[in-house]
Structure 1
């Protein structure tokens, strides 16, 4: 039986993405084909004991300098600690969570490593794992393709 080909969608080098479960909308993300795992900026990372006596990861997503920051403390009962290669090639231990990212109006569950990206221009980095899973290709000459597609879809419905 032949495998059905899924049409690929074009992403720009920069995209505006949503995290519906976190109530974060229009967060700037850099598409990085050199990174395997996606990453999101967070601070104040702590492992705490929850009411069920199980470990939970407690973080602040983004930071006060970001327009979408609301100071909400997030807790994740499911997380892992992994070695991730940083942008400078060094291995770092980072916490990894599963999160839903909305792009082109569709939600994709993927892994995000949690790291301090305050010295980076963009708070979110989208890696190859998501790109392959979502059947995306990257055109580095473009930006905000998902956002533009959503605006065009809304306009055509009106």
Structure 2
């Protein structure tokens, strides 16, 4: 029988490295620090495979031989005045089927997400979600070692009042 040492491959930044899984609600405030987004309300969507982020004015260009996405984000519902301008390397492009069965070709980025006092990298597809209630969906591939309480909301806290 072998036991794992604390540094046996799981880093402390990944939820899988924690002794017990964090419990989150069906909606939570998350941060995307590498994109400069301090707070965005996310729907925790176990039915969605990949996470999605509302973007506008999406432009993809080649920089030093790699694709880079530049885009705007309105991080708050019903607020088109607050804008975060972001850029990130494109790690993939793929066809995604939305909840209505419509297929859309989307660019995919990888960026750290901060939730439940933990931070880990996730893939996010970029799409227009301005008609949707939530500006971000956190899909099931981003929920490693997290448990969802479908009756609870904002178990990990709320942003400070402006």
TM-score (norm 2): 0.77
Alignment match, 1:21: 34
State which of 66, 80, 98 in structure 1 corresponds to 2:79.
66
Rate the CA distance shift 1:112–1:83 in 2: closer, same or farther, 3 A.
same
Shift of 1:12: 0.5
Rate the CA distance shift 1:20–1:121 in 2: closer, same or farther, 3 A.
same
Q: Structure 2: where are the runs of 5+ without partners?
A: 5-17
Is structure 2 residue 108 aligned with structure 1 residue 96? yes
Structure 2 CA distance, aligned partners of 1:108 and 1:68?
29
SS in 1 for 2:55: strand
Q: Structure 1: where are the runs of 5+ without partners?
A: 152-158
| Maintained 8 Å contact 2:37/2:75 | no
Moved more, 109-118 or 85-94: 85-94
Shift of 1:141: 1.1
| Maintained 8 Å contact 2:37/2:84 | no
Q: How does 1:1-158 map to 2 (within 5 A)?
A: 1=1, 6-50=19-63, 52=64, 54-62=66-74, 66=79, 69-72=82-85, 74-131=86-143, 133=144, 135-147=145-157
Structure 1 CA distance, aligned partners of 2:91 and 2:27?
27
| Maintained 8 Å contact 2:41/2:75 | no
Give the structure with the higher percent helix.
1
TM-score (norm 1): 0.79
Structure 2 CA distance, aligned partners of 1:15 and 1:3?
34
TM-superposition CA deviations, 1:57-107 (whole Å, max 9, x none): 2211227953783352x2223332101111112222111100111001111
Structure 2 CA distance, aligned partners of 1:86 and 1:3?
42
| Maintained 8 Å contact 2:24/2:116 | no
Task: Count how many residue pairs are aligned between Structure 1 and Structure 2.
Answer: 146
